[in-house]
Structure 1
């Protein structure tokens, strides 16, 4: 089969299109013919070595073992099953829960042995992939591409919203609101949990599209008076921040949060380090949350909301699998709205 492998830490030149054997499912696994695989920051940061220091970087302390096939947002059709898997699963269209873990229900994502598909396991930048049968869920939509854009970014966004315990009518600021996680943060906070969302983007030409996703107000991070604009449109401080940007908007976020406000972060595309005056933290009684991925129950609740039409796929562009380098370079450009998806059959 054709697959795309990362051969080491570095630039897109470390992505190589190769021919590899079709994997064989083990006893409790299934073989999936990949129909679509959406791109996430996770596989780019994995390739770039952003999850660690020195020569080791990955979800696990030992780092990634190369070569590795990336890709974690996967939909496809089960074409073969392991000996312990019911034959009735053959032919099912599925979306993959993106990691394994021995953690108890509700804490799978914080287990020490959490291992990610596309990092610790070969992933979906390929024509076929194997995965545990119990981690394959019915697709929430009938379309492979549309169903492939939720697994990692959607689960991360859903978990962020549940962590800060949003109540209807609260005001939530979403940074990076036009990205994969951000666009889903907007939808989940507004359409599922009933919050008033202030979406922060770069280009205000996206305003109407962001409002279509549920945003009440859309502001640009390029504004020199962003904090004042946030306070103005809300009529005062906000309840919570859902952040994927990091340093670039950190001070603004703390400035506009109310006393007792909540700040939840799941990414740092705008800078991985920031200065914090601890007096701001304790005098305003702010609660910080670090967040990535989520639980299987949250995944199930998210898929249900997608099936019910409360959360819609937001897709910017598709690429053939063989153009993975070009797709990852495009993914990193600003101004997109939604996900970029690789298609093995194109």
Structure 2
């Protein structure tokens, strides 16, 4: 089969299109013909070494092993099954839950042996992928491309919203709102939980799109008076911040939070290190959450929200598998809105 492998740490030249054997599904696994695979920061940062270049580079103690086929947002059709799997699964159109672990229900994402597709296992930048049958869910939408927009970004956003326990009518600030996780944070907070959502982006050209997703107000992070703008629009401090930016907006986030407010972060595209005055935390009684991915129950709840129309796919552009380098390069550019999807 055709696949794209990461052969080491570095730039996009470390992505190589290769011909490798089609994987054989093992006990309890199925073979999925990949129809679409969304692109995430995770596989780019893994390639670039942003997570580290040694044992800290992956979820397992040994770190990421090369060559590796990246890609975690996988949709496709089951074409064969391994031992112990009913042949009636053949033909099912599925979306893959993106990791394995031995964690108990509700703790899958924090188990010590958590292992990620596209990092510890070969992923969806390929024509076929083998995956545990019980981690394959029915696609929430008819389109493979649209369904592939949700997996990691949607699950991460869903878990972030669960972490801060949003109440209807609260005001929630969402950073990076034009990206994958950010755009889903807008939809989940507004349409599932009934929150008043303030979206922060770079270019206000996307304001109407974000309002269509559920945001009540849209702000540019380029404003020199961003914190004051948010406080004025809300008539005071906000209840919570859902952040994927990190350092660049960290001070603003703490400045606009109310006493007893909540801050949840799942990414740091705007800087991985920051300055924190601890007095801000304890004097304002701020609760901080680190968040990544989520549980199988949350994944199922997200799929139901997609089916009901509370969450909609946001796809910016598609690329062919041969164009994986171009796709990852485009992913890092400013100005896009929504997910980038590879189609084998």
What range is the shorter-chain TM-score in? Answer: over 0.9
Between the aligned partners of 2:318 and 2:61, the Cα distance in structure 1 is 33
Partner of 1:236: 236
Q: Is the 8 A contact 2:54 2:63 kept in 1?
A: no
Q: How does 1:34-53 map to 2 (within 5 A)?
A: 34-52=34-52
TM-score, with structure 1 as normaliser: 0.98
**CA positional deviation for 1:27:** 1.3
Does residue 1:304 correspond to 2:304, yes or no? yes
Partner of 1:286: 286
Partner of 1:192: 192
Query: Structure 1 segments of 4 or more deviating over 3 A?
Result: 53-56
Q: Is the 8 A contact 1:49 1:58 kept in 2?
A: no
Q: Is the 8 A contact 2:260 2:285 kept in 1?
A: yes
Partner of 1:84: 84
**CA positional deviation for 1:335:** 1.2
Partner of 1:327: 327
**CA positional deviation for 1:63:** 1.2
Between the aligned partners of 1:144 and 1:242, the Cα distance in structure 2 is 28
Partner of 1:151: 151
SS in 1 for 2:173: strand
Between the aligned partners of 2:61 and 2:282, the Cα distance in structure 1 is 32
Partner of 1:275: 275
Q: Is the 8 A contact 1:73 1:124 kept in 2?
A: yes
**CA positional deviation for 1:61:** 3.1
Q: Deviations over 1:33-69 (max 9, x none)?
A: 0000000001001111111255751222321000000
Partner of 2:71: 71
Between the aligned partners of 2:134 and 2:55, the Cα distance in structure 1 is 34
Does residue 1:206 correspond to 2:206, yes or no? yes
SS in 2 for 1:131: strand
Between the aligned partners of 2:198 and 2:192, the Cα distance in structure 1 is 16
Partner of 1:101: 101
**CA positional deviation for 1:251:** 0.3
**CA positional deviation for 1:91:** 0.3
Between the aligned partners of 2:52 and 2:186, the Cα distance in structure 1 is 30
Q: How does 1:243-258 map to 2 (within 5 A)?
A: 243-258=243-258
Q: Deviations over 1:185-219 (max 9, x none)?
A: 00000000100000000000111011000000000
Q: Is the 8 A contact 2:9 2:53 kept in 1?
A: no
SS in 2 for 1:272: coil
**CA positional deviation for 1:164:** 0.3
SS in 2 for 1:155: helix
Q: Is the 8 A contact 1:49 1:56 kept in 2?
A: no
SS in 1 for 2:66: coil
Between the aligned partners of 1:280 and 1:314, the Cα distance in structure 2 is 36
Between the aligned partners of 1:259 and 1:56, the Cα distance in structure 2 is 36
SS in 1 for 2:57: coil
Between the aligned partners of 1:148 and 1:53, the Cα distance in structure 2 is 28
Q: Is the 8 A contact 2:55 2:64 kept in 1?
A: no
Between the aligned partners of 1:4 and 1:115, the Cα distance in structure 2 is 20
Partner of 1:141: 141
SS in 2 for 1:141: coil
SS in 2 for 1:22: coil
TM-score, with structure 2 as normaliser: 0.99
Partner of 1:315: 315
CA distance 1:86–1:331, change in 2 (3 Å): same
Between the aligned partners of 1:245 and 1:335, the Cα distance in structure 2 is 15
Q: Is the 8 A contact 1:72 1:151 kept in 2?
A: yes
Q: Is the 8 A contact 1:51 1:59 kept in 2?
A: no
Q: Deviations over 1:4-27 (max 9, x none)?
A: 000011110100000000000001
SS in 1 for 2:199: strand
**CA positional deviation for 1:121:** 0.0
